[in-house]
Structure 1
Amino acid sequence: MQTTPIIILLFIGYIIFSIDKKKEDFPVPPILVLLGIALSFIPYFSSIEVTKDLIYHILLPALLFISAYRFPPSALKRNGGIIGFFATIGIILTILLLGGAIYAAASPFVSLSFIGCLVIASMLTPTDPVSVVSILEQSTGNKLMADIVEGESLINDGTSIVIFTVLSGMYLQNTQFSIGKLLGEFFIISLGGIILGLAVGWLFSKAIHITHHKEYQVMLSIILAYGVFNAAELAGVSGVLATVFAGIMLSFEFERSIKEDHFRESLDGFWGVIEISILSLLFLLIGIVAAHHLSFNNLGLAFVIFLASLVVRIVIITGTTQLFPAWRNKITWKESILLSWSGLKGSMSVFLILSLQAKESQHTDLIISLTFTAVLLSLFVQSIGIHPLSKKLR
């Protein structure tokens, strides 16, 4: 990508973030995506190539690291059970139920295999908290809700990639669905990424304590964010989970240090600018690339798939939180519905779509079109609805 379009897109992002001060009624990401779609009709921007490598290897590691090292260790200690369940067992149940629902809904209209429906479901399971976390805190005054949404998203980004990789491989190779293979690869790749991330994160946290210059601490954090990601990918384990748990380990070490404020100040100044810049580019690019994949021929089916993803998430989250007494005491059924609504789709789903597209199979066009449309519906409807729904249920 050339430098000039990047500067223009960053300037557009600066304008939108500057205008939207309250971030309450209408979140920034949907506005940026709409502008991206509009820009796609201008030849200068329509020629921009958005690849899975751009999102996965350049933009994503930084966003994951920022969210992870900022995530409060106390929140993870309090809500680790709920977050872990939603991002592992919950995500597997969601894919199986949603895949079945898509298969039943699509059968009368289009030809989709069951494994193809599971692939769609796996691309719709990652959640993106960027649009809703601040709104949840402002409108409900409940930090617990925001912590669970953000914590779940951090981990399920990694677990969803593992499941998608296994399912898309089965689909493209036209092999029979195997729950044993799915679970086996899921746990091996996920656990490997977690262990590597914790180990490297601990080592780098010690190095940051030794380094007293702020500039060098920032350099180390860049090396950690991208280094552990690429090392994990080369090792054949989850780079996303490695980066997330490296950031979480760094956060734990910060909490134990009497110099925590000094460390965080040096990192926040740099990564705060990087975060806003990446988000501006990411959602504008999503809008630009979305224009090439949207199809109105199956708009009704895409809307049904979006509704099904929402209903399945409500069933699983409400069912599990109300089933266990310890969780029921923390989360009411109204808050369960709000948690379900907060699981909107975003950047990770787009990466998975682009990953499937890169495989260049003639059998994926319909799946890509349906999924992209469902992702945009989720981004717009759930982002816009989170504020009034939280007020209504409060």
Structure 2
Amino acid sequence: MVLLNQVLVLLLVSVIVFIIDINKKFFPVPVVLVLVGMALSSLSLFSDFSVSHDVLYDIFIPGLIFVSAYQFSAQALKKNAGIILTFSTLGMLATVLLLGTGVYWVSSFFEPLSWSVSFLLAAILVPTDPVSVVSILKGSGGSEEVSDIVEGESLVNDGTSIVIFTILLSMVQSGNSFSALNFLESFTYVSLGGIGIGLVFGWILSQAIHITSHHEYQVILSILIAYGGFTLAEMVNASGVLATVVSGILLSFAFSKHDEKEDEFRDSLGGFWNVVEPTLSSILFLFIGIQSVHYIHFQKPIIWITATIFFVLSILARFLVLGSTLLVVPSWRRKFEHLNSGLFLLSWAGIKGTMSVVLILWAESTLTIDNSVFLISVAFITTLFSFIFQSAGVYPLSRFLKKVDHSET
């Protein structure tokens, strides 16, 4: 009964926030929900509230990932496939390597972390969450190219981040030192396994468009594809997130053919998922806000100092990796009318959010190392810094860079 009351209150709060929707272009609704969740933690109804990573990962993530994937523009993906895939795979690996090195060096001055744990923390802080950033970028008159790349990258790198995280977590748990060969072997199996299952499930769903015209069955089938592919992939130790992403992307390509039946299918799915998605996301962000209070230790300034440094390092590492990648490939540089502005926006828009929180809770439930409390608290505060400050800064930064570009032309 308590759980039901909690969920009903959270639903009511989320509806009120979405209705008010004050200054959404400046301050995204998800950020408001997290802050409201932090305030709700002081109520007696939520005094004993706790959510596990299993609930977030198995219930919330597949649905949210599937909606993002099938609603992502197939045209935008075709146009930016190379840069999106590179940023979300090789770029993510390079960012983990660079940020992990920085974490290892900085932690030696405060709370020394091993190489494996440093890379694990970096893997937690690397996945990006576009929340309302994409709509803010477009609403500010920013580059549509940047918006498409940020959205596509965040979609794919959710799956990549899970793969990297689980491999590093197993190394930390087993006490093994970091091995590049073992890492690459595991990364290949988990990634290709998830992609393969996603291709099969996505093909089934795209073909089912032409089999039945019953909207109810089509919606049920989409649920089975979103959660079934995810569950099957996880059962064989492959990436469930990648499986769901791939199946959703295949469906997006099916929609792009503009067949009349596919348009009807899109409408029927939208009627269901356009209600489910904001419901899941709003409750999820309130969950994050309530849960985060457990990890904020104001009496330990060393945690806040370390988190601040890691927050800055995460932005710097992303900037260096993205900048180096764009410099290496001239055709990608030409995608941006103003390269410097595009690079700054791409770097700043790499906001940590939902996936980072899931990975933090996952690490907390399994890690047994001596400094795990310090690690989890720093990771959570760093994620909150990114989620709040970067989200709030997207609009003014976009507008400022736009003025600078106009003044130079």
Tell me the TM-score normalized by structure 1: 0.97
Alignment partner, residue 52 of structure 1: 53
- CA–CA distance in 1 between the matches of 2:47 and 2:70? 35
1:310 maps to amino acid: I
- Do the aligned partners of 1:83 and 1:151 also contact (CA within 8 Å) in 2? yes
Q: 1:1-30 CA distances to partner (integer Å, 9 max, x unpaired)?
A: 722211110111111111116520111111
Query: Matches of residues 80-159 of structure 1 in structure 2 within 5 Å?
Result: 80-159=81-160
- CA–CA distance in 1 between the matches of 2:44 and 2:118? 35
Alignment partner, residue 394 of structure 2: 386
Alignment partner, residue 353 of structure 2: 346
Query: Matches of residues 95-244 of structure 1 in structure 2 within 5 Å?
Result: 95-244=96-245
1:349 maps to amino acid: S
Displacement after TM superposition at 1:295 (Å):
2.4
Among 325, 344, 355, the alignment partner of 1:337 is 344
1:128 maps to amino acid: D
Alignment partner, residue 266 of structure 1: 268
1:369 and 2:377 correspond: yes
Alignment partner, residue 27 of structure 2: 26
Q: 1:215-263 CA distances to partner (integer Å, 9 max, x unpaired)?
A: 1111111111111110111121100000000011111112225123211
- SS of alignment partner, residue 109 of structure 2: coil
Q: 1:45-86 CA distances to partner (integer Å, 9 max, x unpaired)?
A: 132220111100101100000000001111111100000001
- CA–CA distance in 2 between the matches of 1:300 and 1:28? 28
- SS of alignment partner, residue 23 of structure 1: coil
RMSD: 1.3
Among 308, 328, 333, the alignment partner of 2:313 is 308
Alignment partner, residue 281 of structure 2: 279
- Do the aligned partners of 2:63 and 2:226 also contact (CA within 8 Å) in 1? yes
2:333 maps to amino acid: R
Displacement after TM superposition at 1:142 (Å):
2.7
Displacement after TM superposition at 1:175 (Å):
1.0
- CA–CA distance in 1 between the matches of 2:183 and 2:341? 33
1:356 and 2:363 correspond: yes
- CA–CA distance in 1 between the matches of 2:170 and 2:109? 26
Query: Matches of residues 69-80 of structure 1 in structure 2 within 5 Å?
Result: 69-80=70-81
1:148 maps to amino acid: I
Alignment partner, residue 16 of structure 2: 15
- Do the aligned partners of 2:104 and 2:112 also contact (CA within 8 Å) in 1? no
- CA–CA distance in 1 between the matches of 2:116 and 2:232? 31
- Do the aligned partners of 1:318 and 1:333 also contact (CA within 8 Å) in 2? no
- Do the aligned partners of 2:100 and 2:118 also contact (CA within 8 Å) in 1? yes
Displacement after TM superposition at 1:166 (Å):
1.1
- CA–CA distance in 2 between the matches of 1:175 and 1:366? 21
Displacement after TM superposition at 1:362 (Å):
4.4
1:90 maps to amino acid: G
- CA–CA distance in 1 between the matches of 2:91 and 2:47? 38
Most deviating of 199-208 and 94-103: 199-208
Q: 1:271-324 CA distances to partner (integer Å, 9 max, x unpaired)?
A: 111111111101100011111112232101100000000011011112211331
- Do the aligned partners of 1:193 and 1:232 also contact (CA within 8 Å) in 2? yes
- CA–CA distance in 2 between the matches of 1:108 and 1:301? 10
- Do the aligned partners of 1:23 and 1:134 also contact (CA within 8 Å) in 2? no
Displacement after TM superposition at 1:393 (Å):
0.9
- Do the aligned partners of 2:315 and 2:348 also contact (CA within 8 Å) in 1? yes
- CA–CA distance in 1 between the matches of 2:294 and 2:151? 30
1:369 maps to amino acid: S
Task: Detail structure 1 runs of 4+ shifted over 4 Å in the superposition.
Answer: none
Displacement after TM superposition at 1:360 (Å):
4.9
1:284 maps to amino acid: L
- Percent identity between the two aligned chains: 47
Displacement after TM superposition at 1:143 (Å):
2.1
- Do the aligned partners of 2:143 and 2:342 also contact (CA within 8 Å) in 1? no
1:376 maps to amino acid: L
1:320 and 2:322 correspond: no
1:329 maps to amino acid: R
- Do the aligned partners of 1:96 and 1:118 also contact (CA within 8 Å) in 2? yes
Most deviating of 1-10 and 53-62: 1-10
Most deviating of 35-44 and 309-318: 35-44
- Do the aligned partners of 1:208 and 1:220 also contact (CA within 8 Å) in 2? no
- CA–CA distance in 2 between the matches of 1:380 and 1:263? 37
Most deviating of 381-390 and 252-261: 252-261
- Do the aligned partners of 2:142 and 2:399 also contact (CA within 8 Å) in 1? no
Most deviating of 251-260 and 363-372: 251-260
